[in-house]
Amino acid sequence: MRTHAVKTHLLLLCLAAAAPAADWNYFKSGPVEVWTDHDDEPARRLLAHFDQTRWLLAKTLGKTEVNPLWPVRLMVLKPGKTPAQYRTRELRLSRDAYTAGLESKDEIPAAWTAAYLRLLMRDDVKPMPAPFEDGLVSALSTLRVEMSRITAGAPPATGRNLDWARMHLLAVNPDYAGRVRVFFGVLQQGAPIDSAARNAFEKTEAELQKLVENYFAAGKFDTFPISGKPLNPQRDYRSFPGHPQRAELLLADLLTGNAAQAAYRALLSRRPTADAFEGAGMYAEAVAKDSDSARAWYRYAADEKDMARRQAALRKAMELNPRWAEPHQRWADGETDPVRRSIVAKKAAELDPRATASWIALAEAQQDAKDFAAANQSWRMAERSVSDPVQREAIEKRRLQYERQRLDLKAAERRRKEEEKKRELDELKQKALADIRAAEARANAGNSPTDPSQKVLPWWNGPTGKPVTGKLERVDCLSGIARLVIRDARNRLSQYKVLDPSQVAITGAGELTLACGPQRPPRAIKLEYKAVADEKLATAGNVLTIEFR
Boundaries of every domain in the chain = 2-236, 466-548
Calculate mean pLDDT across residues 224-240: 93
pLDDT above 90: residue 289: yes
Helices then strands (H, E): number in the chain? 21, 15
What pLDDT, on a 0 to 100 scale, did the predictor assign at position 2? 40
Residue % of the chain over a pLDDT of 70: 91
What pLDDT, on a 0 to 100 scale, did the predictor assign at position 19? 47
**Structure confidence at residue 146 as a pLDDT band (50, 70, 90):** very high
Rounded Cα distance, 195 and 203, in Å: 9
Calculate mean pLDDT across residues 108-121: 96
What pLDDT, on a 0 to 100 scale, did the predictor assign at position 459? 44
What pLDDT, on a 0 to 100 scale, did the predictor assign at position 456? 46
pLDDT above 50: residue 193: yes
Which phi and psi (to 5°) does residue 229 adopt?
-65, 130
| 21 vs 233: which has the higher pLDDT | 233
**Architecture, CATH, for domain 466-548:** Beta Barrel (2.40)
What pLDDT, on a 0 to 100 scale, did the predictor assign at position 3? 43
pLDDT above 60: residue 447: no
Q: Which helix (H) or strand (E) holds 214?
A: helix 205-218
Q: Which helix (H) or strand (E) holds 97?
A: strand 97-103
Total residues found in the chain within this entry: 549
Calculate mean pLDDT across residues 409-426: 80
Mean pLDDT score across all residues of the chain: 87
pLDDT above 80: residue 102: yes
What pLDDT, on a 0 to 100 scale, did the predictor assign at position 499? 86
What pLDDT, on a 0 to 100 scale, did the predictor assign at position 157? 84
Cα dihedral angle (70, 95, 237, 57), rounded to 10 degrees? -30
What's the pLDDT tens digit per position in 318-327? Answer: 999 999 999 9
What pLDDT, on a 0 to 100 scale, did the predictor assign at position 395? 85
pLDDT above 90: residue 427: no
Rounded Cα distance, 150 and 133, in Å: 20
What's the pLDDT tens digit per position in 483-505? Answer: 999 998 888 889 999 988 777 77
Calculate mean pLDDT across residues 123-139: 94
**Structure confidence at residue 446 as a pLDDT band (50, 70, 90):** low
Rounded Cα distance, 86 and 101, in Å: 6
Calculate mean pLDDT across residues 528-534: 89
Q: Do strands 482-487 and 493-498 pair parallel, antiparallel, or not at all (unpaired)? A: antiparallel
pLDDT above 80: residue 5: no
What pLDDT, on a 0 to 100 scale, did the predictor assign at position 14? 45
**Structure confidence at residue 137 as a pLDDT band (50, 70, 90):** very high
Among 29-38, 362-371, 445-454, 530-539, the least confident range: 445-454
Cβ atoms of 546 and 502 closer than 8 Å: no
Rounded Cα distance, 293 and 363, in Å: 31
What pLDDT, on a 0 to 100 scale, did the predictor assign at position 81? 66
Residue % of the chain over a pLDDT of 90: 61
What pLDDT, on a 0 to 100 scale, did the predictor assign at position 22? 62
Residue 246 carries which DSSP code? Answer: H
Rounded Cα distance, 483 and 537, in Å: 8
